[in-house]
Amino acid sequence: METVSENRSFGGVQSVYKHASSTCGCDMTFAVYMPPQAANRPVPLLWYLSGLTCTHENAMTKGGFQEHAAKHGIAVVFPDTSPRGEGVANDEAYDLGQGAGFYVNATRDPWKPHFQMYDYITKELRDLIVSELNVQDRHGITGHSMGGHGALTLAMRNPEMYDSLSAFAPIAHPTRSDWGRKQLSAYLGDDEGCWAAHDSTLLLEEHGWKGDILVDQGASDQFLDLLKPEALAAAIAKRRQPATFRMQEGYDHSYFFVNSFAGDHVAWHAERLT
């Protein structure tokens, strides 16, 4: 890992790293906050997956996670949302290509050579961080919007890899939303049977989750029709899944919303990881 930057924050260190990814076939950048407790002992790790158009930097600078992570003694990793760089396929639309990896392994060209974000998050980056940083092999996962979709689907498909799960305004039913159908067809093809493995509503109905789940959704979110929180809430009820699903009055889809409830989510994960 090449260190891009280091900054002192709430007694810990906020770092940005770059490394050559064999999974994505390009250089990848990610950020990690190490709390002050990591100077003396390994700490558990919370993964934060970002949404459409974001890089590692958005949540790192706007999410407000560092103060809460320092209080509870957990590290937070902020991966990028897609491969990037010269030779990496892209699209003129903001919601496809670079910045819109959707946390899947693409099987169609021109995306297949680089857009392998599912394996990158669950395998390569995970192994790299556990081997190089003073963290325990105990992992929680959360995310916002596209990243909330990623957190829910990665956890439900790999329950042995994650010990706690939450989401902020997730894209909850992508197989029935324009935020999902477009991207899943581009990356995976037109066989909708292949899409179900990347839809948290369908995964929850079929498999559930081994523990409880925390979901926060802004009631004034301008993208409610695309996110479809009602589908996920219905699946929680149908499955009788232990969960806390909160519609937060007056909140929209912005990082002001994420920042407002970041402390609740960090505390939620800390209680289950430590």
As annotated, the active-site residues are: 145, 221, 253
CB contact at 8 A, 145 and 135: no
Distance of CA 4 to the CA centre of its chain: 22
Helices in the chain by DSSP H: which ranges?
56-62, 65-72, 117-119, 125-132, 146-157, 178-188, 200-206, 224-227, 229-239, 255-273
CA 173, CA 178: separation in Å to the nearest integer?
Answer: 10
Q: 3-class DSSP state for residue 3? A: strand
Count of CB atoms situated within 10 Å of the CB of 181: 14
CA 65, CA 198: separation in Å to the nearest integer?
Answer: 27
Count of CB atoms situated within 10 Å of the CB of 120: 26
- List Cα–Cα distances, 79 to 144, 147, 192, in angstroms: 13, 10, 28
